[in-house]
């Protein structure tokens, strides 16, 4: 019988769709912008996959929206180890949940959140001088750490089937700097994690010039077409080649020589689309994600209305091997899988598989 402690950060990822690039200290603003909770549904997806993988599970949860609600919804009868301290939830509640799981001798702590949640979980395990494995269900805007499954379903399968463990990095960034266009990852902890191919790598930056990519793209831009420019330095070079000042870590919309949306939220982007639309996106180095990491503003509704143009250096593609998607919509993810052409130079393309 495998004992798994399961805890959810219910506000994780709320800032993504509405363009806040994170939720730390921004919950009220996210709600004012119409943000919806995405962590609970991703928690349920992970638990369904866990139940499909094995029935030999004892699930321990924290109360209410921090795990118990989702577990009962999908058919588990969990052992509830505690409840949030107040009307809302906090990082302190996450740490209390982890401490309770450790006291009860769990074999794995499965958490739902982003890098901030990963830090809370990993540091609480370190404080207890324990080597309990942890595993993340990706639900945050920032998911740079190695401790996450590549999708909620992958995390659930790993949790139910892993046999060995290894060490992995827990990284986080300063969200205020991130909103200002600076990405500075900091190693915050080392954690024991399940060894599995379906666990993501830490974010690494691809090298090499992207000038040829950007110039080639700019030459092929057509009037009347709407271009959704995703975050990242490669797409930033495309914006420069188009003669506009893009938002380094936000999503902009370009049409006919100008930006019609700057640093837009999902609804802004959707409202700016025209008859012909193209999303310009570059995979995250070291991970391969083209959707679902740092660009949640490009929602499933937006993706369904557009063609996708992937741009990346050869070195980055060599490093990642495959491309990945995690839009939060399983049908859309499935439709995006398969072989895709990636612009790697002024005119050159390379086939890469989305898995």
Return phi, psi of residue 53, to 5°. Answer: -80, -40
8 A C-beta contact, residue 274 and residue 255: yes
State residue 11's pLDDT score.
85
State residue 30's pLDDT score.
45
SS3 145: coil
State residue 203's pLDDT score.
55
Burial bucket for residue 228 (CB in 10 Å: 0-12, 13-18, 19+):
buried
8 A C-beta contact, residue 184 and residue 174: yes
For the chain, the farthest-separated pair of C-alpha atoms sits apart, in whole angstroms, at 63
pLDDT tens for the chain, 355 residues long, are 999 999 999 988 665 454 444 555 554 554 455 546 688 999 999 999 999 999 899 999 999 999 999 999 999 999 999 999 876 788 899 999 999 999 999 999 999 998 889 999 999 999 887 789 999 999 987 687 889 999 999 999 999 999 999 988 888 766 555 545 555 567 888 899 999 988 877 654 444 358 889 988 999 999 999 999 999 989 999 999 999 998 988 999 999 999 999 999 999 999 999 999 999 999 998 889 999 998 999 999 999 999 999 999 888 998 899 999 999 899 999 999 999 989 988 878 888 999 9
Residues sharing a CB contact under 8 Å with residue 220, sequence separation 6 or more, in sequence order: none
Alpha helices in 61-114 (DSSP H): 68-73, 91-103
State residue 208's pLDDT score.
37
Characterize 8-38 residue by residue with b for buried, 16 or more Cβ atoms within 10 angstroms of its Cβ, and e for exposed.
Answer: bbbbbbbbbbbbbbbbbebbeebeebebebb
SS3 97: helix
State residue 209's pLDDT score.
57
SS3 265: coil
Give the rounded distance of the alpha carbon of 108 from its chain centre. 21
Retrieve residue 14's tokens. Answer: 């709320």
Selection from 263, 295, 257, 260 nearest residue 279 by Cα: 295
Characterize 240-250 residue by residue with b for buried, 16 or more Cβ atoms within 10 angstroms of its Cβ, and e for exposed.
Answer: bbbeeebbbbb
| Strands of the sheet with 225-229, listed across from one edge | 258-261, 252-255, 225-229, 276-281, 307-311, 338-343, 349-354
Retrieve residue 104's tokens. Answer: 């009860």
């Amino acid at each position: 019988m495998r004992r798994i402690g399961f805890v959810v950060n219910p506000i994780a990822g709320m800032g993504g769709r509405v363009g806040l690039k994170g939720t730390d200290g921004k919950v009220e603003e996210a709600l004012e912008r119409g943000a919806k909770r995405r962590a609970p549904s991703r928690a349920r997806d992970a638990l369904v996959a866990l139940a499909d993988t094995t029935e030999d599970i004892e699930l321990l949860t924290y109360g209410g929206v921090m795990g118990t609600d989702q577990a009962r919804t999908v058919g588990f009868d969990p052992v509830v180890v505690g409840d949030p301290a107040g009307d809302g939830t906090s990082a302190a509640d996450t740490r209390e949940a982890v401490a309770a799981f450790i006291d009860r001798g769990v074999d794995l702590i499965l958490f739902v959140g982003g890098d901030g949640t990963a830090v809370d979980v990993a540091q609480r395990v370190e404080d207890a001088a324990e080597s309990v494995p942890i595993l993340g269900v990706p639900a945050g805007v920032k998911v740079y750490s190695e401790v996450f499954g590549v999708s909620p379903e992958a995390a659930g399968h790993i949790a139910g089937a892993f046999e060995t463990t290894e060490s992995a990095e827990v990284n986080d960034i300063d969200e205020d700097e991130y909103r200002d266009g600076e990405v500075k990852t900091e190693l915050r902890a080392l954690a024991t994690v399940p060894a599995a191919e379906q666990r993501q790598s830490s974010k690494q930056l691809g090298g090499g010039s992207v000038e040829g990519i950007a110039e080639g793209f700019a030459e092929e831009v057509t009037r009347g077409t709407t271009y959704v420019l995703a975050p990242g330095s490669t797409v930033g070079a495309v914006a420069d080649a188009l003669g506009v000042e893009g938002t380094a870590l936000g999503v902009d919309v370009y049409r006919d020589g100008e930006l019609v949306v700057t640093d837009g939220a999902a609804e802004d982007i959707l409202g700016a689309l025209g008859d012909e639309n193209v999303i310009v996106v570059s995979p995250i180095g070291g991970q391969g994600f083209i959707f679902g990491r740092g660009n949640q503003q490009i929602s499933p509704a937006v993706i369904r209305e557009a063609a996708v143009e992937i741009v990346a250096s050869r070195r980055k593609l060599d490093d990642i091997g495959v491309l990945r998607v995690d839009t939060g919509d399983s049908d859309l993810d499935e439709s995006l899988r398969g072989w895709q052409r990636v612009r790697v130079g002024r005119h050159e393309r390379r086939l890469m598989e989305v898995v």
